[in-house]
């Protein structure tokens, strides 16, 4: 079974599941395009799902859409990001949110991410949040204030901080200009409901307003997955305060630990810097395709690094990933013309073991490269092995089948002999074999990644 690092437990844990596993992933705030750093988190969730489904575990996934409640900062004041951007783009809130939601779904489709079973929008589940807030008030974990705000009383949840290590007695107050928020009983309390009028507001027993960002994920995960969730995933930046607050809310409402395992993916840098507008290094998936690269080159680049390691992505990295992707597709198409053969058992077993070992995809890719070069394995066996493992990799390695011309009789062995000659540095033999292939109508070109032919 899959073993993966549990952030809260601070160790690799075995994921035990019956025939079904419930997984929640914090979804996007739909006020702008997702950049490739954002998308890395969702590739992580997709890989977990694919590895488990290979073990015939049914995964029930929920990933929310945040279209209200996420303020410009993590504090309990400021403007809603969606509302601010809608005004800037002169669109209605719903028009803007649906536009960027559709863009996000297009990006995830291009990266071969399997859609979740549940994808609730925050704006359409307000009643669920109101119900949860009322429950927390009734249990003494939340309190109202005269202006219509509702705050979570964090001191009623003693184990706060177990995910991030930020303990309550070590947290310093976040000061505004005039000091600590006087509405709060304790400086680390956070808003579950905020008073507001206008387009993003709803009527509740506490007055008109909108929900806090943290309560949304608690409400939607509990509603769509229930009070026992096997895996909760997200980016490393969400550990605090978002996931700490979410855990406190969910566990306080349920009366027990709701999430068994918390899994976080590390940050992505681009050219050595955090991806941000201010540094001018934000890269969208559309930028990758505009550069003539396959969008799945991004997925390949992610697979080359462990999800728990910070990844420094560059254009050179993406171009190298694109070359590997295209070469493997060409080889799979070439091998598809050979007689079928059983999979290369040792290679496949080692790759699958790497999948299970805390998603060690870099080792799995090294094994595939080894298999690609292994002359003792029949082409048909390589074909079956690559396509079998691609069920987890999600690289569309079979996409070129039917597009690549069929090799004329006798050309296949000549190509293999020429590849061996090049590896041995026998350039005279390589040139002679190139001429023999040309006589058969096969034109060979040499690239840094190996020979190609048309």
Query: Binding site residues for Zn(2+), as ranges?
Result: 26, 217, 242, 246
Binding-site annotation, residues: 26, 217, 242, 246, 277
Scan for tokens 């540095």, then name that residue: 425
Residue 204 and residue 193 in contact, taking contact as beta carbons nearer than 8 Å: yes
Q: Which uninterrupted H or E stretch holds 282?
A: none
Please state, in angstroms and rounded to a whole number, the distance separating the CA atoms of residues 268 and 272: 9
Please state, in angstroms and rounded to a whole number, the distance separating the CA atoms of residues 188 and 359: 35
Four-CA torsion 44, 224, 209, 202, nearest 10 degrees: 130
Residue 234's DSSP bridge partners are 264
Please state, in angstroms and rounded to a whole number, the distance separating the CA atoms of residues 454 and 444: 7
Binding-site annotation, residues for ATP: 277
Q: Which uninterrupted H or E stretch holds 302?
A: helix 296-303
**Token pair of 128 as six digits:** 């669920």
The 3-state DSSP class for residue 379 equals helix
- DSSP summary character for residue 266: P
Peptide bond into 241 cis (omega under 30): yes
Of the candidates 35, 432, 3, 407, the one whose C-alpha atom is nearest the C-alpha of residue 231 is: 3
């Amino acid at each position: 079974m899959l073993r993966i690092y549990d952030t809260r437990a601070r160790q690799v844990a075995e994921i035990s599941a019956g025939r079904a596993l419930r997984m929640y992933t914090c979804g996007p705030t739909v006020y702008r395009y997702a950049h490739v750093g954002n998308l890395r988190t969702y590739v992580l969730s997709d890989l977990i799902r694919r590895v488990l489904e290979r073990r015939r575990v049914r995964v029930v996934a929920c990933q929310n859409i945040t279209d209200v409640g996420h303020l410009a900062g993590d504090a309990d004041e400021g403007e809603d990001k969606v509302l601010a951007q809608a005004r800037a783009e002169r669109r209605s809130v719903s028009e803007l949110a649906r536009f960027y939601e559709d863009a996000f779904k297009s990006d995830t489709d291009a990266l071969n991410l399997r859609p979740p079973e549940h994808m609730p929008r925050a704006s359409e589940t307000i009643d669920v949040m109101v119900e949860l807030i009322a429950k927390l008030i009734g249990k003494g974990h939340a309190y109202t204030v005269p202006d219509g705000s509702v705050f979570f009383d964090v001191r009623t949840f003693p184990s706060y901080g177990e995910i991030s290590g930020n303990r309550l007695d070590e947290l310093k107050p976040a000061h505004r200009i005039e000091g600590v928020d006087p509405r709060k009983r304790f400086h680390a309390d956070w808003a579950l409901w905020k008073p507001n009028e206008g387009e993003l507001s709803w009527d509740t027993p506490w007055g008109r307003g909108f929900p806090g960002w943290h309560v949304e994920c608690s409400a939607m995960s509990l509603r769509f997955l229930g009070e026992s969730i096997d895996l909760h995933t997200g980016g490393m930046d969400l550990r605090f305060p978002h996931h700490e607050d979410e855990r406190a809310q969910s566990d306080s409402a349920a009366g027990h630990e709701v999430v068994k395992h918390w899994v976080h993916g590390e940050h992505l840098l681009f050219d050595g810097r955090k991806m941000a507008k201010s540094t001018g290094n934000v890269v969208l998936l559309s930028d990758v395709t505009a550069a003539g690269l396959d969008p799945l080159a991004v997925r390949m680049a992610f697979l080359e690094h462990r999800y728990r390691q910070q990844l420094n992505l560059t254009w050179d990295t993406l171009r190298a990933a694109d070359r590997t992707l295209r070469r493997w597709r060409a080889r799979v198409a070439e091998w598809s013309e050979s007689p079928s053969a059983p999979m290369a058992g040792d290679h496949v077993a080692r790759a699958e073991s790497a999948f299970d070992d805390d998603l060690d995809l870099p080792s799995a890719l090294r094994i595939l490269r080894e298999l690609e070069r292994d002359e003792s394995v029949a082409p048909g066996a390589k074909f079956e092995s690559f396509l079998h493992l691609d069920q987890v990799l999600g690289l569309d390695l079979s996409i070129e089948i039917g597009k690549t011309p069929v090799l004329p009789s006798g050309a296949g062995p000549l190509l293999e002999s020429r590849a061996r000659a090049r590896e041995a540095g026998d350039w005279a033999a390589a040139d002679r074999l190139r001429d023999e292939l040309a006589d058969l109508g096969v034109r060979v070109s040499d690239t840094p990644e190996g020979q190609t032919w048309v």
